[in-house]
């Protein structure tokens, strides 16, 4: 696996890489969810290039968030990617990605104004900025994103449409622990007690999906039920628990597919996300 550490070197190398090229953007601290992205990338880029990036992007963290303590097990991540059959790893420093006087940015004005965007203003602009940079550098044919971060996936798709990037965004289903907890690099922050309680998040989303399919419930009743259910866990604090349209992320008035049930919940000081997608076939995507 080739390791490239600067945008300049990547720009040069990317032009020569066998195509198609599938890109898996990450912030490292890799788990089985990331490896599922790499496995899908391999299918899409058969005969071409599977590339990954590891970059803990300062632009998407707000002051006081976990930028400083975000796990960075680089040697282990590198081994995992190599073993998974990745051909190229781009792992730049923040200084090489952002000039000290960076002044051109990206702003998303609709989809980021709800859900996680309310608690983390500017976060998705930072995600768009780094993803746009990666797309410029790699010129990928495919880019893979996990469905756990559904709002991110929706916003990246919108950016690709609105800024005419020539890349196909490929969603990959969430990988879960045996008890249902969605894999996340931030699960490592959970205490024993918080880890024991955290599966209530996905259990509740599934329960909410069942309630929707049964009918006879309004959106505010459903959202209230989700918050109360999750709130039973002592270490939990619900940031939001909502039923929205999966493309617009606007509240659903009729609780019928397509619908995204999504929640962000603190367990102690760790904020976890999860969602359940009801599509037209009443299943997950
Ligand atoms: O989902 C992530 O890990 C990050 O938000 C991403 C897409 C790699 C951009 O920094």
Among protein residues, the one whose CA lies closest to atom 8 of ligand 1: 26
Distance from the alpha carbon of residue 215 to the mean position of ligand 1, in angstroms: 36
Residue 185 CB–ligand 1 contact under 6 Å? no
Å from CA of 221 to ligand 1 middle: 33
> Closest ligand 1 atom to the C-alpha of 55?
10
Enter the pTM of the model.
0.97
> Is 131 buried (19+), middle (13-18) or exposed (0-12) by CB count in 10 A?
buried
Query: Residue 278's beta-bridge partner residues?
Result: 259
**pLDDT per position as a tens digit, 1-51:** 999 999 999 999 999 999 999 999 999 999 999 999 999 999 999 999 999
Closest Cα to atom 6 of ligand 1: 26
Q: 264 CB under 6 A from ligand 1?
A: no
pLDDT digits (tens, 9 = 90+) for 137-176: 999 999 999 999 999 999 999 999 999 999 999 999 999 9
- In short, whether 26's Cβ falls inside 6 Å of ligand 1 is yes
Q: What is the DSSP string of 200-221?
A: HHHHHHHHHHHHHHH----HHH
Query: Ligand 1 pocket, 147 CB below 6 A?
Result: no
Give strand pairing partners of 49.
21
Give 284's pLDDT tier (boundaries 50, 70, 90). very low
Ligand 1 proximity of 30 Cβ (cutoff 6 Å): no
Pocket test for ligand 1, best of 62, 117, 131, 153 (most atoms within 8 A of CB): 131
**DSSP class of 89:** E
Residue 130 in contact with ligand 1 by CB distance below 6 A: yes
Active-site residues, by number, are 34
Q: List all residues 6 or more positions away from 209 whose beta carbon is below 8 Å from its beta carbon.
A: 261, 276, 278
pLDDT band at 109 (very low <50, low <70, confident <90, very high): very high
- For the Cβ of 25 lying below 6 angstroms from any atom of ligand 1, the answer is yes
Q: Which residues are bridge partners to 251 per DSSP? A: 244
Q: Is residue 73 pLDDT above 50, yes or no?
A: yes
Tens-digit pLDDT profile for residues 116-131: 999 999 999 999 999 9
CB distance 41 to 21 below 8 Å: no
| Pairing assessment for the beta strands 259-267 and 236-244 based on DSSP bridges | antiparallel
DSSP 274: E
| pLDDT over threshold 80, residue 285 | no
- The structure tokens listed for 277 are 């997608």
How many Å is the Cα radius of gyration of the chain? 19
- Torsion of Cα atoms, 177 then 181 then 185 then 186, to 10°: -150
100 CA to middle of ligand 1, Å?
21
For ligand 1, the distance from its centroid to the CA atom of residue 127, given in whole angstroms, is: 6
Helices (H), the chain: 7-14, 32-44, 74-83, 94-97, 116-119, 123-138, 150-162, 192-197, 200-214, 219-231
Pocket lining: 57 vs ligand 1, CB cutoff 6 Å: yes
Which residue, chain included where needed, has tokens 């597919």?
A: 257
Average of per-residue pLDDT across 235-246 = 98
Classify the phi-psi angles of 239: left when phi > 0, otherwise alpha if psi is within -120 to 50, otherwise beta.
Answer: alpha
Residue whose CA is closest, atom 3 of ligand 1? 26
Ligand 1 atom closest to 127 (CA): 9
């Amino acid at each position: 696996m080739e390791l490239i550490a600067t945008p300049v070197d990547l720009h040069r190398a990317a032009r020569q890489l066998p195509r198609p090229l599938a890109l898996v953007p990450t912030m490292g601290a890799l788990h089985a969810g990331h490896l599922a992205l790499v496995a899908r990338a391999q299918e899409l880029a058969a005969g071409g290039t599977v590339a990954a990036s590891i970059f803990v992007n300062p632009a998407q963290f707000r002051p006081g968030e976990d930028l400083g303590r975000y796990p960075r097990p680089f040697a282990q991540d590198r081994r995992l990617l190599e073993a998974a059959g990745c051909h190229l790893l781009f792992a730049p420093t923040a200084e090489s990605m952002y000039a000290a006087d960076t002044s051109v940015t990206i702003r998303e004005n609709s989809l980021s104004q709800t859900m996680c965007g309310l608690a983390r203003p500017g976060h998705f602009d930072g995600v768009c900025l780094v993803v746009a940079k990666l797309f410029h550098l790699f010129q990928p044919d495919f880019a893979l994103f996990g469905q756990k971060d559904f709002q991110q996936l929706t916003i990246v798709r919108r950016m690709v449409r609105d800024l005419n990037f020539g890349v196909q965004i490929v969603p990959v289903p969430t990988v879960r622990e045996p008890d249902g907890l969605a894999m996340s690099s931030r699960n490592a922050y959970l205490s024993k007690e918080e880890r024991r309680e955290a599966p209530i998040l996905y259990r509740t989303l599934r329960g909410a999906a069942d309630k929707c399919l049964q009918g006879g419930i309004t959106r505010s009743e459903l959202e209230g039920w989700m918050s109360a259910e999750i709130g039973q866990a002592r270490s939990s604090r619900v940031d939001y628990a909502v039923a929205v349209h999966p493309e617009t992320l606007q509240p659903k008035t009729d609780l019928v597919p397509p619908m995204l049930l999504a929640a962000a919940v603190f367990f102690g000081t760790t904020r976890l996300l999860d969602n359940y997608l009801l599509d037209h076939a009443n299943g997950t995507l």
